[in-house]
Structure 1
Amino acid sequence: MIVSFLQFFAIYTMPYTDNSLFYALPVAFFITVLLIPTLAPLAMRIGLTDAPCNRRLHASETPLVGGITIFIGLMFAILILDTSLSGYRALFAGSALLLLVGVLDDFHELSARFRFFYQVLAALLMTQWGGIAITDLGSLLGTESLPLGIWSVPFTVFCVVGVINAVNMIDGMDGLSGSIMLLTALLLALLAFSVNQIDSASILSLFAASCAAFLVFNLRTHLRKRIHVFLGDAGSMMGGYILCWFLIDLGQEPAQAYAPVTALWLFAIPIIDTVATMIGRVMRKKSPFSADRTHLHHLLLSSGLSVTTTLLVILVAIVLLASVGILAENHAIPEWIMTVAFLTISFIYLSVSNKHKLD
């Protein structure tokens, strides 16, 4: 069913692309599907697993191979695309770097400082080699534009590291991070197609196909009963990096598909949840990077919702907030209004969630 939907997606966008995407989509999906049963037993033997603990929701050791299989499936499928990928070398290099660091972290938990160093390095690959950077914040203050000048690179690095950690930190429940990556990639692919950015749209579509394949073994499906796998830090960091590349690229000239503030609405839930969680930890005099059970999905679960219902609630919220951003873009709502609206929603969630946590 998932493959059929993705092929329908390729057919629908065929006037803007070529047949290679139609053939590459099932390759991305099935390579990932085939690799998971192959690598999962190996991961169990070598200790690349996530063991249960008091802040985990699973009851047994689970292989951390989701990110590895998504990346390999994506890379195989990309080779089928009938297009030049030279402009994406930094994307592939940065993704591979974070995948490797993530695997090391999954084997033996690395220090936050070590992970932070390589996240910054990957961000610099994006800006200095890939040429992807936030150079203009748009009309946030009601002016025509707000160029960043010499602050472009440091601000971009800050945002990239933030998005990577947002995906990593929210990865605490079956299907959550994988579904967020899938939904965001599909939304970005459609927006890329709308401005004729075919290469970006194709890569995003293949990434979505690989994420969909991973979810077959992460959500409650028939295959998951036999093989259950997680993304691991490798998958969440790599996936966050890929999404951030296109969130920035499509929000800036010359490939601009939306105003910079719209990117916040497209990725609203991970951003709001991460910022609120970190502020809450600081308010409780803890490290903002300490592990706990204060994320949005933890709060929903503690309110009595099931895992499936919690996942659906969060995904619906993601779609609704993204839709608000896209509709505002299409109806030319001033960017400063959308900025104020986003900050207002963030403040309300921060106030409500931290009151619940303190209670």
Structure 2
Amino acid sequence: MALLVTSLLALFTLSLAISWVVIGVGIPLSHYFNIADHPGGHKEHDTITPFIGGTGIFFAIIIGLNIIDGSHQLSNIPYTCMILSAITIFLTGFADDILHLDYKIRFLAQTVVALVMALWGDVILLDLGKVFFGNFFSLNIVALPFTVFATIGVINALNMIDGLDGLAGSLSFVSLLLIAIVTFVAGEEAYLGLVVTMMGGVSGFLYYNLRYGNRRRAAVFLGDNGSMLLGLLFSWLLIHLSQGEARAMTPVTALWILAVPLMDAVGVMIRRLYYRNSPFYPDRNHLHHLLVRASFRTQDIVYIISLIQLVLGCIGLMGLYLDIPEFWMLIGFLGVFVAYCYIIARPWRFVPFLRSLHPRLGFTSADCHGVFVGNFPMKDAPRFVHALVGELHSNYDYDVRIYEDRANVSEPLAYAVIELFLERDDVSSTSQIRPLITSLKKQLQDYADIRIRQFIKRDDRHDRRVGNKPVSADFRNTDRRSKAKRALIYRACSDGSVVTSHYPLTRPMFR
């Protein structure tokens, strides 16, 4: 056991280092030869970014497989078939990244690779497990075409989920971790080595692709070359481990392990067909796009969706090891899938719900411009002026406005809007706004009814009243803001300028 763990750690470290070095060397070369993705269309990024992330993973896997083969652990893996299939799908993806191949050419290449995997590698879906009446559901003569169909589906599912920095890589790592558990329990040492090699390659890629610390955007993308390569290997692993007499897991477990990419791809394609669009036409109705529209930051979206994948994958493993009937595990998966389809089919309801839930979860909105302070007595406005401006002075570039709240007639109230001029990125929003909200809540804790929250400007991107709505009933009363006029009673800026009507000041408060 100790020797196995040591070997796996060494393999993981080596694969990580290979991926890290290859991508690090490739980034400047990609810029020089213009092998990069340019902004535009439905893409989220706004800078030219190399798409060579799959290159690091590819070399890590190829070298790792050679090392495993040299140690005579690949006895049950058709090594040559796997290598040639990986090279073919990787080169196809790389050509697609550069030349933007027609989808028919991509499907042809994917079909050929799937046939090679099934016929030469003997990796084929012969049955779907005991999903009906406790008996194996054999595919018989449709086994080969179903294997090709499933393989192409997984390849494209990974490609379609690759829409945000770090998302596809993080989901792949989570799924690989779950597969590693399955192979370890089943004693599949050769495939465990392959999975650990893939985890190392993906980790090296995530070093450049994730947003963390002060990194404001990805330095490299996975590209079609990486997503198609990972998709093929996921297909290979899941089919092999779920078939045969001594299968390591059931086919239903495989669905749970790769739940998010599969549900996202199938759900979005069903939605496109329902609205009579091409299932291959890209749109912005994936789960991560809905979270972006709900003002979640990129890092938070990656963490949330990865956590969802981890939870769903763990449910699949629990069903496997607790011997829950495959029929009920399939029903559970289909139930989750139906719920997912309902969500993406009605984004005009789901996005506002997420937006209202967003601050309650403690996340900082990507559209946050500052802090809103409401429900304080008008007579205490001078105190609030000194508290707010004193807290902001020399720490922020700000614009403070205090308004009279004319909607309340019983007691004169006021509210303040603190707009911070931040760099428009996720890091600035989190690092500057969260500490300010915490400090203000501490200073103003004597006021029981005061509200302190993130301030988000109303604009067309997240205004439900703008754009096409399916039916008028979808408007909520909470979206109809009051038409009562607001009166500005004080304004101060970080440059020292002050504008006020009720509380005249002859000089700036701070210099």
Flag whether TM exceeds 0.5 (same fold).
Answer: yes
Matches within 5 A, 1:184-263: 184-221=175-212, 228-263=219-254
- SS of corresponding position for 1:220: coil
Residue identity opposite 2:302 in structure 1 = L
8 A Cα contact 1:37 1:227, kept in partner? no
How far apart are the structure 1 equivalents of 2:56 and 2:263?
29
Structure 1 stretch displaced more, 191-200 or 247-256: 247-256
User: CA separation in 2, counterparts of 1:226 and 1:157?
Assistant: 36
Any unmatched runs of 5+ in structure 2? Answer: 349-468, 471-511
Partner of 2:96: 105
1:151 to 125, 142, 145: 142
**Gap change, CA 1:211 and 1:255, over 3 Å in 2:** farther
**Which of 317, 321, 336 matches 1:326?**
317
The structure-2 alpha-carbon separation of the partners of 1:110 and 1:223, relative to structure 1 and needing over 3 Å to count, comes to farther
Q: Is the 8 A contact 2:91 2:225 kept in 1?
A: yes
Q: How far 1:125 sits from its partner (Å)? A: 1.1
Query: Distance in 1 between the 2:81 and 2:215 partners?
Result: 34
State how far apart, in whole Å, the 2-side matches of 1:230 and 1:255 are: 38
Corresponding residue for 2:449? none
Between 89-98 and 263-272, the greater mean CA deviation after superposition: 89-98
Query: Residue type of the partner of 2:50?
Result: P
Once the two structures are superposed, residues 168-227 of structure 1 have per-residue CA deviations (whole angstroms, 9 ceiling, x without a partner) of: 011010001111111111211121111110000001101101100100000124695797
Deviation at 1:228, TM superposition (A): 0.3
In the TM superposition, 1:1-359 aligns within 5 A as 14=2, 17=4, 19-81=6-68, 82-85=71-74, 87-221=78-212, 228-356=219-347
Q: Could you tell which deviates more after superposition, 313-322 or 183-192?
A: 183-192
Q: Report the aligned-residue RMSD.
A: 1.8
* Amino acid in structure 1 at the alignment position of 2:98: F
User: What letter matches 1:193 in structure 2?
Assistant: F
Q: Distance in 2 between matches of 1:103 and 1:126?
A: 20
Q: Deviations over 1:55-75 (max 9, x none)?
A: 112111100110011110222
Structure 1: runs of 5+ lacking an equivalent = 1-12
Q: Deviations for 1:269-304, whole angstroms, at most 9, x for unmatched residues?
A: 111111110011111221100011111100111112
Q: Secondary structure at the match of 1:105?
A: helix
Displacement of 1:79: 2.5
- Taking the aligned partners of 1:339 and 1:80, their CA distance within structure 2 comes to 38
1:166–1:271: 8 Å Cα contact kept in structure 2?
yes
* Segments of 4+ moved more than 6 angstroms: none
2: distance between equivalents of 1:177 and 1:253? 30
Alignment check: 8 A CA contact 2:263 2:337 kept: yes
SS in 2 for 1:253: coil
Residues 262 and 325 in structure 1, CA contact (< 8 A), matched pair in contact too:
yes
Distance apart, 1:261 and its partner CA: 0.8
Structure of higher CA gyration radius = 2
Superposition deviation, residue 84 in structure 1 = 4.5
- 1:129–1:135 Cα change, 3 Å: same
Structure-2 separation of matches of 1:292 and 1:226: 22
Q: Would you say the 8 A contact 2:117–2:236 is kept in 1? A: yes
Aligned-residue offset at 1:88: 2.8
8 A Cα contact 2:161 2:265, kept in partner: yes
Q: What CA deviation, in whole Å up to 9, does each residue of 1:135-180 have, x standing for no partner?
A: 1111111232111111111111100000000000110100011111
Q: If the length of structure 1 is used for normalisation, what is the TM-score?
A: 0.92
CA distance, structure 1, for counterparts of residue 231 and residue 169 of structure 2: 11
Distance 2:216 2:18 in 1: 20
**Alpha-carbon separation, structure 2, partners of 1:55 and 1:291:** 7
Once the two structures are superposed, residues 291-350 of structure 1 have per-residue CA deviations (whole angstroms, 9 ceiling, x without a partner) of 111111001111121111111110110011111111111111111111111111111211
Quote the offset at 1:46 in angstroms. Answer: 2.0
- What is the number of residues matched between the two proteins? 346
Tell me what 1:4 maps to: none
Whole-angstrom distance in 2 between the partners of 1:21 and 1:89: 22
Q: Sort the Cα spacing of 1:43 and 1:223 in 2 relative to 1 into closer, same or farther, 3 A.
A: farther
Q: Which moved more, 1:159-168 or 1:301-310?
A: 301-310
One-letter amino acid of the structure 2 residue matched with residue 60 of structure 1: T
TM-score by length of structure 2 reads 0.65
Take 1:91 and 1:79, find their aligned partners in 2: how far apart are those partners? 12
Q: Distance in 2 between matches of 1:355 and 1:330?
A: 36
Higher relative contact order (CA 8 A, sep 6+): 1
Q: How far apart, CA to CA, are the structure 2 residues paired with 1:189 and 1:23?
A: 16
Within 2, Cα distance between the matches of 1:151 and 1:254? 20
Q: Which amino acid aligns with 1:53?
A: G
Instruction: Measure the CA separation in 1 of the matches of 2:283 and 2:149.
Output: 23
Secondary structure at the counterpart of residue 79 of structure 1:
helix
Which of the pair is proportionally richer in strand?
2
- Separation of aligned partners in 1, 2:81 and 2:286: 32
The structure where helix makes up a greater share of residues is 1
Instruction: State, as a whole percentage, how many aligned pairs show the same letter.
Output: 34
